Amino acid sequence: MRYLNKIVFINSAAIRYSEVQLDGNIHLIGTQGVGKSTILRAILFFYNADTQRLGIPVEKKSYQDYYFPYADSSIIYEVAREDGWFTVLSYKTMNRICYRFIASPYRPDLFIDEEGAPYPSDRIRSVLDKNGIKYSGAISTYEEYRNILYGNSDNKRDYSCYSLMESGSYQNIIRTIQNVLLNSRLEADYIKQTIITSLNEADSVIDLSRYRSHLSGFEAQLNDIGVFREPGMARKAAGISTLSDDIRKRDLRINDLCRQLRGAYLETERILPELSRKIHEQEAVKSDFYKQRDKLDAESKNRTATMEGELAVLKNALSEAEAKRVFYAGKDIQTAMDRCNKLEILQQEQESLVVEKDLLSSKNKEASVLHANLIANLKNELAGFENEKQKQLLAAETEINARREARREYYRRLREESRHAASEEKERLLVDREKRTTEVAALKMRIKTARGQSGTSEELEAVKGRLGNYDANRKDLELKIRELKYELNYQMKEFETAEKHLDEDYQKLAESNEVKIEALSAKLAELTEFLDNQKDSFFNWLSEHKPGWEQTIGQVCDERLLYGKEFTAEVGEGDTFYGIRFTSGIHRNVKTKEDYLTEKKEAEEKRAGIQRFIATARQDLEAAKENLRKQYQSSVKPIKEDIYHAEYELEQLAVRKKEDESRLSALRDQATRLRQEEIRRLEEELNAAEAALSSIRQEIATLQGKMDRELASLDEQEKDELAALDKELSARREAISEEIARKKVELEERKSGYDREQLDSLTASGGDPRRLEEIHSRLAYIGGEIKYINETKALIIEYLKDKREMLDKVPDWTAESLRLQQIIHGEQEELKKRLADVNRNIFKIDAELKELKEANRKALENREEYHRSTLLDWFTSRESVFSSMNRTDTNGDCRSLVREITICVSEQSQKLSELRKEITAYTGNFSEDNVFAFKTSFSDDKEYMDFACDLKEFIDEDKVSEYQLRINTRNSDIFRQITADTKSMVSQEGNIRGVVDQINADFKEKNFVGIIQCIEMRIDPSQNKIVNLLKEIKRFNEEYSWDLGQNLFASSADDTATREKATTLLRELIKSMDAYSGNLIRLADFFDLKFRVIENRNDTGFVERLTNVGSEGTDILVKSMVNIMLLNVFKRNASTVFSDFKLHCMMDEIGKLHPNNVAGILKFANDRDILLINGSPTEQDALSYKHIYKLEKDGDSFTRIRRVITQFD
């Protein structure tokens, strides 16, 4: 037995600590406000876990705040099970109520310490872990808690050990317990649903959405078929098919052009990087040529810069030297040099003359001595003169020899430089000659190759390849069309076969199940008749006169005896059988009424199930046929599209073949012309290359001759200059020899004079006056010369310096200047030639770049045109064509293709406009929800085209006949479906009546309240309009089922009445369903439940709600009895696993009831395993309760709960 055994308050709701046993009937006494309702609500919260349905007034504190005012507040519930105990801990955390299920009976030491202080929730977990007690995780939602408590948990963890029962439909238990405590009014809908759920947790329903689906567009269906078959509509449909076929072909052409445009664009995208690369490469080559030109210019300038600098220096030096030469020429520097060169001679002569003067002026010297001195003086003068002249001759020889070596070195260096320059130039010319030779050979080979070619191109080869493939492609397409048509026929036969099999399977299934239904109907009729005739049977007698007979005589009594009418029986003592005297000769095995009812119920359910199965099977058949038809259409539609495309491609193949043949001829002519132009261009390049090669060879020969001439000229110049130096040296030698000879002659003449003078007698006074005068004049001349020399000495030194540094170098500078000028001129001429070659290459590159840039410009324009076209409507509508990997080769460019596509789209748009008008006029004859599912409004051209194609297929395959047959079948099936569903619902009404009869009988037998003469429930016919229509359709179908199947949509006069009646019923049903807000008709809708209470002869009559029955106490009592009985009804079937459990009902202010009524309601509840917990100010009938608790307030306004009485079993 399972039940709530105890509730414990810890620091909860003004209760410090208290335990309340709940293992029997409980009475809580105490004055108002001490906490009786507080305890009752806490117990109710164990069952409903709903803070909003505890009867707490809104102006008071919430459940969380009142019952859990502190962090250590908690309420603990101890639950008894057949296998032990478990505890439910409820506590507050973060202002939310949480739970923990604990696998242990309540033990105070698990929740409070030795001093009585409560443990917080974390401490409780530690204590449980320390004691090795298992517990659940924190349960933070009320729904999860209820699912665990009532065994409806689908958690991954197994919480079955914490369940009070096992039921997925526990809400009625919670609601009924709430109603008792809150004294809620009784409503028929609630009680009806409770009874139905008690019989079967799965509520029986009729899904109106199925009917709505079946009956949607019912009236329009007949009109649509009639309109479609009109002759005028057929002509319109033919016109629509013709227009759509024309548009499809145009669309295929546009798609083909779009693929060509895509191909042209992809080709443009392909060549653009290549063109960009080539342009970049050519720009790089051009840049390299510019760099080469700059490099040549820079290298030439680098090579000539030094020489030009040297030449500038030389020119400046020559200018300065010329200025010096003019300056010294003005100074008559040579005369001054000659005069200065005589300084030593003049000084010697001066000394000699002074000596001679002294001698001639001396009077004491003898003539012989004088003569001897004079002769000696002459010899000294001659020796000094000769020494001086020898010095001058040696200096001249040294100078000339140095100049000779310098000129030799100069000319040797010039010859080396000339050879080196010629060698470099020759090496360059040899490289150019080799390059030109290779170029000439390559051009000759290219010309030869070009002459040997027949003239071709990638495009020409592609055209030839396509022409070669046309026949094969044509055969492939013809084969493909044959295969597709074969596949189409095969698919059609497969569809027809599969549809036939579906019909056959359904027919077999329907026939076999109809046989079962007939058998079950016969069995039900037999059982119904049998049960209807048992009112006067021994079974009824036992039920009235022998309560509990099922456990006594029912165990051994034959069923024919029980339900037979031929018997005599009376209650007696002594010689009786279980206290009954009876006579009967029937002996058979016992079968109870419940068995028959169960058997009948099972048969009804089985029959209803078969009927539903047949209806569902019919729907499944239609759905399967529709799915099969959709599958067939989805499978053949691509095939038909492929056939259409293949036939169109076959037509286009012939067109493209003619185009390619014309294109091939044009490409061949173009290839021949291009080949001839190529040969002519190559020959021009060859002539230019050969001319350049001849020019290089001539330059090599000219360079060699020029070098030989320059070397010969240098040799001649060197020879002439050396000869001039030798001549100059000889001249100097001769001049010095002549000067010495003249000096000797002069001195000899003077010696002769001295000799003559010696012979003459000189006067005693000495010397010759005339000679002295000559000496004096000569000394004056020499003095003047020496003075001149001293004054001119600085000029001579400067001249010698300038002569050494400048004037003597003028010939070299002049020659060097000429040489440098020649080299610079040659370098400039060579630079011009090389720059001319580079400029020719640049010109050629510029021409190629111009062509490439023009091609790139056109490609960019094509790409831009393509990108602009992406904004056009026809592009966006064919994005899939452009995004496809498939592409078509084309000779056109993007611009021409875009123009052509635009024209085609414009023409197609006109055709589409015509098609839209035709389709709009055609579909205007149909409603939006027409039976054929024809669209009547279209959002885009694709929908118009789809409609035209579908219409053509619809007409070709005569689908209207299929629709007519399908509609006939479906709408006749809806009658059978409604009939089956309604029968199933009506068949369960007997079971519900049985439960109501049991409740009424229970009230009659166990009514313990004298003032209440009657509490009765009654089932009345339903007032639901849809339910009544369903019943009427059921009756109509049972009467006209054959006619409905054959003639519901016929038009003959004989069937008009039946058709109109059926149509009227269906229209009424549709109208009622449209007005009905829900989608389900439940079993409870098929009957109305009403109450009747007679209290002190005050008859309420049969009403749907019980409120204010008599006095307040009587009202509470009646409602409690009904709720307890309903709770018992639901409790019996609530748990499918076990039923051995008890529940509690709480009744506040029980003092409003009479003590006798209190004892009666307690027994009334206990007989049904329901325990009552009552509250009142004073004690009443203490022996009726197992525990009585008195509640009172202490001085601190805390509630104290004291057990007054406990009765032990």
Q: Dump pLDDT digits (tens) for 634-689.
A: 788 788 888 878 888 888 788 878 877 887 788 777 778 877 888 888 888 888 88
Mean pLDDT of all residues in 166-171: 74
Residue 761: per-residue pLDDT: 46
Is residue 954 included in any domain, yes or no? yes
Mean pLDDT of all residues in 785-814: 80
Mean pLDDT of all residues in 459-486: 81
Is residue 142 included in any domain, yes or no? yes
Would you call 135 helix, strand, or coil by DSSP?
A: strand
- As a whole number of angstroms, the distance between CA 455 and CA 679 comes to 11
The verdict on 1046 and 1160 lying in the same domain is no
Is residue 75 included in any domain, yes or no? yes
CB 1026 within 8 A of CB 1081: yes
Number of structural domains the chain divides into: 3
What residues make up the domain containing 35? 3-173+1142-1206
- pTM for the full predicted model: 0.43
* Alpha-carbon Rg for the chain in angstroms: 70
The verdict on 139 and 64 lying in the same domain is yes
Non-local CB neighbours of 1124 within 8 Å, separated by 6+ positions: 180, 1145, 1161, 1164, 1165, 1168, 1170
Residue 763: per-residue pLDDT: 46
Q: Tell me the percentage of the chain whose pLDDT exceeds 90.
A: 11
How many Å from the N-terminal Cα to the C-terminal Cα in the chain? 16
197-229: pLDDT as tens digits: 666 655 677 888 777 777 776 777 767 877 888
Would you call 163 helix, strand, or coil by DSSP?
A: coil
The verdict on 46 and 155 lying in the same domain is yes
Is residue 570 included in any domain, yes or no? no
The position carrying tokens 């068949």 is 987
Q: Tell me the percentage of the chain whose pLDDT exceeds 70.
A: 84
The verdict on 1034 and 1168 lying in the same domain is no
The verdict on 50 and 97 lying in the same domain is yes
Is residue 411 included in any domain, yes or no? no
Instruction: Give the end of a domain, one of 939, 959, 979.
Output: 959
Task: Check the CA dihedral 1150-1156-1161-1166 and report its sign.
Answer: positive
The verdict on 938 and 981 lying in the same domain is no
- Lowest-confidence segment of 78-87, 753-762, 940-949, 957-966 by average pLDDT: 753-762
Check pLDDT > 60 for residue 759. no
What burial class does residue 888 get, using C-beta atoms within 10 Å of its C-beta: 0-12 exposed, 13-18 middle, 19+ buried? middle
* Residues forming a β-bridge with 770: none
The verdict on 955 and 1010 lying in the same domain is no
Q: Residue 93 is part of a domain; what is its CATH number?
A: 3.40.50.300
Residue 890 in tokens: 């084309």
- As a whole number of angstroms, the distance between CA 594 and CA 586 comes to 21
- For residue 419, the one-letter residue type is R
Check pLDDT > 80 for residue 1031. yes
- As a whole number of angstroms, the distance between CA 390 and CA 345 comes to 12
- As a whole number of angstroms, the distance between CA 607 and CA 597 comes to 15
The verdict on 1026 and 1087 lying in the same domain is yes
Nearest residue to 439 via CA among 696, 693, 700: 693
Mean pLDDT of all residues in 1003-1009: 72
Which 8-state DSSP code applies to residue 1094?
E
The verdict on 931 and 976 lying in the same domain is no
Check pLDDT > 60 for residue 231. yes
Instruction: Give the end of a domain, one of 959, 983, 1010.
Output: 959
CB 240 within 8 A of CB 919: yes
Is residue 1057 included in any domain, yes or no? yes
Mean pLDDT of all residues in 765-783: 73
Residue 758 pLDDT class (50, 70, 90 cuts): low
The verdict on 1035 and 985 lying in the same domain is yes
Residue 765: per-residue pLDDT: 44
Nearest residue to 721 via CA among 1097, 1145, 259, 404: 404
3-state secondary structure 525-575: HHHHHHHHCCCCCHHHHHHHHCCCHHHCHHHCCCHHHHHCCCCEEEECCCC
Mean pLDDT taken over the chain? 80
- As a whole number of angstroms, the distance between CA 920 and CA 243 comes to 14
Mean pLDDT of all residues in 1136-1150: 76
Is residue 168 included in any domain, yes or no? yes
Is residue 838 included in any domain, yes or no? no
Check pLDDT > 80 for residue 361. no
Mean pLDDT of all residues in 869-898: 77
The verdict on 34 and 82 lying in the same domain is yes
The verdict on 1091 and 1005 lying in the same domain is yes
How far is CA 303 from each of CA 310, 414, 418, 820, 824, rounded to the nearest angstrom? 12, 17, 15, 11, 9
Mean pLDDT of all residues in 562-580: 55
400-440: pLDDT as tens digits: 888 788 888 888 888 887 788 778 778 878 888 888 898 88
- As a whole number of angstroms, the distance between CA 1124 and CA 179 comes to 10
Residue 76: per-residue pLDDT: 97
Non-local CB neighbours of 869 within 8 Å, separated by 6+ positions: 261, 875, 894, 898, 901
Instruction: Output 79 or 460, whichever has higher pLDDT.
Output: 79
| Strand pairing report for 3-12 and 15-21 | antiparallel
Check pLDDT > 50 for residue 502. yes
| Strand pairing report for 1187-1193 and 26-29 | parallel
Element (H, E) at 17: strand 15-21
- As a whole number of angstroms, the distance between CA 570 and CA 582 comes to 7
Mean pLDDT of all residues in 1155-1160: 79
Instruction: Give the end of a domain, one of 959, 983, 1005.
Output: 959
Nearest residue to 751 via CA among 389, 387, 376, 353: 376
Task: Work out the number of other CB atoms within 10 angstroms of the CB of residue 45.
Answer: 21
How far is CA 384 from each of CA 277, 359, 387, 741, 744, rounded to the nearest angstrom? 94, 20, 5, 14, 12
